[in-house]
Structure 1
Amino acid sequence: MSVTRADVQAAAARIGPLARRTPVVVLDGDRVGLPHDVALKLEGMQHSGSFKVRGAFNTLLSAAVPPAGVIAASGGNHGAAVAYAASAIGVRAEIFVPATAPAAKQERIRRYGAQVTAVGATYAEAFAASVEQGNRTGALRVHAYDQPEVVAGQGTVAAELAQQCPDLDTVLVAVGGGGLIAGCAAWYTDSLAVVAVEPEAAPTLHAARRAGEPVDVEVGGIAADALGARRLGTIAHEVTSRYVDESVLVPDDAIRHAQRVLWEELRVLAEPGGATALAALLCGAYVAPRGSTVGALVCGANLDPASWSVLPETGV
C-alpha cells in the first residue's frame, strides 16, 4: 500500500467544505534562541482539536457507510476525530479506547455523540477489540494511521501549509503511527526536507528505519496517549523511506519546554504530542541548515486543563 500526491490532492477537494483551514503563526526565533523563525501550523484549532479529523472525513466520504456506522480504536484524538466526522455526516460511531486513555479525551468523544468502549490498558488491546466488534457488526473501520484514505486526508495539512508558506524548505512533523508524516511526505515528496520527530520513549519510526522494517517498540512518556503506537504503519514505512530526510528523538523535558514556549510566546495551548515537533528545534535535536526557512506542525491541543496548571518549567 502507498499514498501519492494525487491521493492527497483528491482528499483536499473531498474534505474542503468540512475541514477547517487552520492558521499559521510565526514564532520569533530571536526570542527562543533560534537563528531562524519557525512557521507553526496550528492544527490544534482543527475540528475535534487535532489534524486527525482530516483523515476521518476523507475515509467516511470515500466509501458508503453501512447501517452499523463506523468503528475505530484510539488513544483519544483519533476517536474524537472519527466521532466528530460521524456526527457531522450523520452516521453512528463506536470508539474503542484503552482504559488508560485520559478522561478528558474520552469525554470529548462522548460529547460528539459516539459510543465509547474502554478495553484493556493499551491501544493494541483496544484495536483488537474494535476489529472483533467490526467483524460482528459490519461497521466501516477507520484506522488511526495505517489506511490509505486516512493517510491521504492527513496529508491535506501539508497541502494547506504549502499554500500558506510556499517558501519553506524544511518541515518538522511529530510521529506516532506515522499517518501524519506519511501524508505530508506524500504531498511534499522531494520538494523540501521533511524531518520526523518522536519522543525518546516512543521511537516507532526511528526503530523502523534502523531495522529496515516496522518493528514493535515499548512506548511510554508524556506524549504516549497521542504518539504511543507500538509499531509504525506499513504505509508510513513505505512513504517515509523515500521522502523523509531525517528522524530525531526528543526527551520528555524538551516536549514540556516546547509546550511552555508555545504558551508563553504565542498563547497557544498544545498537548505534548502537539508540541513534539517544535521541541526538536528548541532542544537542538534537529538543527536546520543555515539560511533555512522552517515550519513545524503543532498537531494537537487536546490537553486536560487541570494538568496544565501543574506542568513544571524544565529550563531545557
Structure 2
Amino acid sequence: MVSAPDSARPPAGVARAAGGTCSKGSGEDPLLLVVDPVARLTDAESVRIARDVLRAATPGLKLCLPDDPAQTPRLLARCGSRRPVLVGDDRALLHAVRYLHGERALGGTALSVVPVGDGPSVALARSLGLPLDAVSAARTVLRGNPHAMDLLVDDEDGVVLGGVRTEASPAVRPPRREEHAERDADRAGQLAGQWRRMYQALARTMLAHGRGRASGERGGLSPAAAGRPVPSSPPASRRPPARGAQRLRVEADGAVVAGPDRPVTDVTVRTTGTGGLAEVSVQPLAGTPLRVRAHTVTVSAPDGFPGFRYRADADADSGAPAAPAASRTWTVLPRAWHLVLPAG
C-alpha cells in the first residue's frame, strides 16, 4: 500500500503549527524530521521513502512540513532534545546552517540530512560525504556518526560550506586616471603607426626620384638613418589585463600570495573538511596555479578599483554572485559544526 505524499493534506491527528504542520508518533521523540517544501515538490517519492524508513525505526518521530522554505531552518532550530533531520537539497542545507550559526546554535547541534534533488542541486551534499539515495541516506540518519566539520566564515559573518570563487565582471574597470593614461597610450600607438607608414612612403618616393644621386643625400635615407625618431607602441605593463583576468591581492595568513601586478583568472578558497585550514588556489593569467593552506585568507582589489565579485557555494546556491567587494576576509572555524555521516 502506497501512502500519500507528504505534500498532500495532513492525515487525521496532525496538528497545525506556525511554520507548517507537525505530527507526532507515540512514545519518545528522538527525531525531528523537517521536510523542506521544495523537496516535496521536486521528488515526493524520495521524501515518502525516507519518511517511512525513519518512522519504522523510530516510532517517536516528529514530522514537520513547513509551508515556506524560510520556515525550514527555524523549525530545525526548535528541535529541543530531539535530533534534527533535514530532508532537502543543498540550498535548504545552506539556509539551515546559516540560520543555526546566526542563532549561535550550530555548535551544539548534530545535523542529519537526507538529500533530495537532482544532480546539481545536491552536489554539495555529495562533496560532504552524504549518500544521495533515500534509503541509504535514511539509514545514515539511524546508524551514522556525527563528524566535526570546519566552517568558513567571512568578515560579515557569512557562512560557506563548500567554497568561494572569484568571478570576473564587465563592470570592474580601471580607475579613471588609469583609463586616461591607457587611452592616451593607445592614441600614441595609433599615431606612431600613421607616422611610420608616412615616413616609409615618403622614403620610397624620395628614393625612387633620387636614384643616381649621392647616397649621402638625406632624401634617400630611411627615417631611422636620418635620425628621425619613430614612436613605439605603449609598453605591455600599461595595457589593461586580458578579458576575464583580474588584478587582485591575495593574502594567506598575512603573506602575499598574489599581487595586482600579476593578473589572475581565478581564485578559489575552500575548507579541507577537518584540518582547520582553508585551501587557496590562485590561477595566474600565465603560469602554473599557486596553492597554499591558511587559517585566514584575504582577497582585495587595488586602490581605486570598484571591487571584485565572488560566488560562495556556487554549486549549491544558484543566485547571483555577491555585490562587488573592495576586500573580503574568510576565516576557518575548526570543528564548528557536526554532520551525521555514514559509519566508517
Same fold (TM over 0.5): no
Normalized against structure 2, the TM-score is what? 0.21
Pick the structure with more helix per residue: 1
Larger Rg: 2
TM-score normalised over the length of structure 1: 0.23
